Amino acid sequence: DTGVSQDPRHKITKRGQNVTFRCDPISEHNRLYWYRQTLGQGPEFLTYFQNEAQLEKSRLLSDRFSAERPKGSFSTLEIQRTEQGDSAMYLCASSFPSGRLNTEAFFGQGTRLTVV
């Protein structure tokens, strides 16, 4: 396992269509995060899983967004009825939990979404 894998790398979609992205974390990691990065900005936290449980969601995650991690391994992020403002890079990251000691998050290469 060489790292966090995201698919697809690029997605162009028409406004109003639904899209789904996949993230495969590093196999030993049970924490998985989704971030969104718009042009010229730093990544912003969207949501976080520990195993299959979605433990936190940002206010950025509107009701058109849904994330799942059904078996505690890979995760999907779906955007329904896409809008031009959804155009961004969607980054996935994974990490170990370590009790009270924070550990680094390893990032995938991202999925760049363009809504036309």
CA nearest neighbour of 49 among 69, 25, 21: 69
Q: How far is the CB of 80 from another protein (least distance, A)?
A: 24
**Residue nearer to another protein on the CB measure, 50 or 80:** 50
Count CB neighbours of 8 within 10 A.
13
Binding mask 16-35 for another protein (x = CB under 8 A): ---------------x-x-x
CA nearest neighbour of 48 among 38, 60, 40, 39: 60
Binding segment toward another protein, per CB under 8 A, in 11-19, 48-56, 70-78, 79-87: 48-56
Half-sphere exposure of 29 (CA within 13 A, CB side): 27
Binding mask 70-109 for another protein (x = CB under 8 A): ---------------------x-x-x-x-xxxxxxxxxxx
| Phi–psi pair at 114, nearest 5 degrees | -120, 120
For residue 102, what are its two tokens? 């924070």
Which residues in this chain contact another protein in the complex, by CB under 8 A? 4, 6, 31, 33, 35, 40-45, 48, 55-56, 91, 93, 95, 97, 99-110, 112
